[in-house]
Amino acid sequence: MGAYVPDACAIGGCVKGYVQPAHTASAVGEVAAENIFNQEAHYANPTCVYMEPEAASMGLTEEVCKAQGFSYKMGKFPLTANGKSLILNGDEDLVKIIAGGEHREILGMHIVGPRATDLIGRGTLAIGTGCTVDEIIVTIHSHATVTESICETASTVEKRAIHIKN
Ligand SMILES: Cc1cc2nc3c(=O)[nH]c(=O)nc-3n(C[C@H](O)[C@H](O)[C@H](O)COP(=O)(O)OP(=O)(O)OC[C@H]3O[C@@H](n4cnc5c(N)ncnc54)[C@H](O)[C@@H]3O)c2cc1C
Beta strands in the chain (DSSP E): 47-49, 55-59, 72-78, 94-100, 106-112
Q: Around 166, how many Cα atoms within 13 Å sit in the side-chain half-sphere? A: 10
Taking the centre of ligand 1 as the mean of its atom positions, its distance from the CA of residue 21, in whole angstroms, is 9
Residue ranges of the chain with per-residue pLDDT less than 50: 1
Please report the pLDDT score of residue 3 as a whole number.
Answer: 66
Q: Which fold has domain 47-157?
A: Enolase-like; domain 1 (3.30.390)
Spatial distance between the Cα atoms of 148 and 145, rounded to a whole number of angstroms: 6
Dist. CA 15 → ligand 1 center (Å): 11
Q: Which atom of ligand 1 is nearest to the CA of 23?
A: 11
Distance between CA atoms of 133 and 114, rounded to whole angstroms?
A: 22
Between CA 85 and CA 93, with CA 51 as vertex, the angle to 5 degrees is 35
Which ranges in the chain are annotated with CATH 3.30.390.30? Answer: 47-157
Pocket test for ligand 1, best of 1, 9, 11, 14 (most atoms within 8 A of CB): 14
Q: How far from the centroid of its chain's Cα atoms is residue 123's Cα?
A: 4
Looking at residue 2, what is its pLDDT?
57
Please choose, from the candidates 159, 107, 59, 140, the residue with its C-alpha nearest in 3D space to the C-alpha of residue 150: 140
pLDDT recorded at residue 14: 86
CA of 55 to the centre of ligand 1 (A): 22
Residue 28 CA to chain centroid, in angstroms?
18
pLDDT of residue 15: 84
Computed on alpha carbons and rounded to an integer, the radius of gyration of the chain in Å comes to 18
Rounded to whole angstroms, the Cα distance separating 163 from 78 reads: 10
Q: Whose CA is nearest to atom 16 of ligand 1?
A: 22
The pLDDT, as a whole number, for residue 1 is 47
